[in-house]
Amino acid sequence: MAAVTIIQAITLGVVEGLTEFLPISSTGHMILTGSVMGVPDDDFTKLFDICIQLGAIMSVLVLYRHRFMRQSLEFYKKLLVAVSPALVLGFLFNKKIDALLESDLTVACTMLFGGVVLLFVDNFFREAVVARAEDIKPKQALAVGFWQVLAMIPGMSRSACTIIGGMQQKLTREAAAEFSFFLAVPTMAAATGYKLLKALLKQRELLTDPNNLMLLAVGNLVAFIVAILAIKTFITYLKRHGFRVFGIYRVIMGVVVLGMLYGGYLK
């Protein structure tokens, strides 16, 4: 019997779609949402939290399908360079990362730290010279890839790390965000594919239960729809306003979660 109910699957799909491409940490929000809703921390829940990223991946492929089709082989080589650090280090430290995913305290601290950074990041990098994601150079792509590694710590936010990394490499806010979206596809596909392969080899029953498959389908569909809306809104907002509001949100969330932990409302 699946631990996740249909209402929880829909809620988690909304959270995944809304937060995956915003610099506020989808993993952190998924962990906190699961804790608040009382979702049991079992094997299916862990698989569900990772696999509904497929819906978010599909939203990028749909929104940017024309640009994906027009890209040169050189650009895809740069994407491969950028994703390499996360693939290697993610494989080597998979068990340590899984252990961190169970810690609400880690999420609270990294949410707070990341929020402080976002409050001031717009003032850090003002000399942008790369206006299109396609024009990033291999060395810059590799640097962004190492920034992405920081997102293995729950609450740091893959989106925040890669966008800040792109800006540090002199990409404009928009170009950095779009490269972050492109980079999300191989990164998240690899993480999801790895979890699915492990489940097929060691816990096949998780993927043969019709109820589990229905919950995964619902979660992915909701994440896909919400992520499309989130990406469109985020890019428009980012052009005009920058990151400050996301920093304020993260600081508030970090303080609230620390208070809930102190009060015994979270583990």
Would you state the structure tokens that stand for residue 128, as one six-digit string? 């942008």
Geometric angle at alpha carbon 39, from 214 and 27, rounded to 5°: 85
Exposure of 188 in the CB half-sphere (CA atoms within 13 A): 27
| pLDDT tens readout for residues 110-128 | 999 999 999 999 888 888 8
Count how many domains the chain has. Answer: 1
| pLDDT tens readout for residues 4-38 | 899 999 999 999 999 999 999 998 899 889 888 98
Q: Is residue 267 part of a domain?
A: no
Q: Is residue 173 part of a domain?
A: yes
Most confident stretch, 29-38, 92-101, 222-231, 253-262: 222-231
- Domain enclosing residue 164, as ranges: 6-92+102-262
Q: Is residue 48 part of a domain?
A: yes
| Distance between CA atoms of residues 185 and 218, nearest Å | 20
| H or E segment and range at residue 191 | helix 173-202
Report the residue count for the chain.
267
Q: Is residue 70 part of a domain?
A: yes
| Distance between CA atoms of residues 23 and 231, nearest Å | 11
| Distance between CA atoms of residues 106 and 261, nearest Å | 11
Quote the pTM value.
0.90
Q: Is residue 140 part of a domain?
A: yes
| Distance between CA atoms of residues 221 and 52, nearest Å | 8
Q: Is residue 196 part of a domain?
A: yes
Q: Is residue 120 part of a domain?
A: yes
State the sign of the Cα–Cα–Cα–Cα dihedral 89, 64, 9, 19. positive
Q: Is residue 97 part of a domain?
A: no
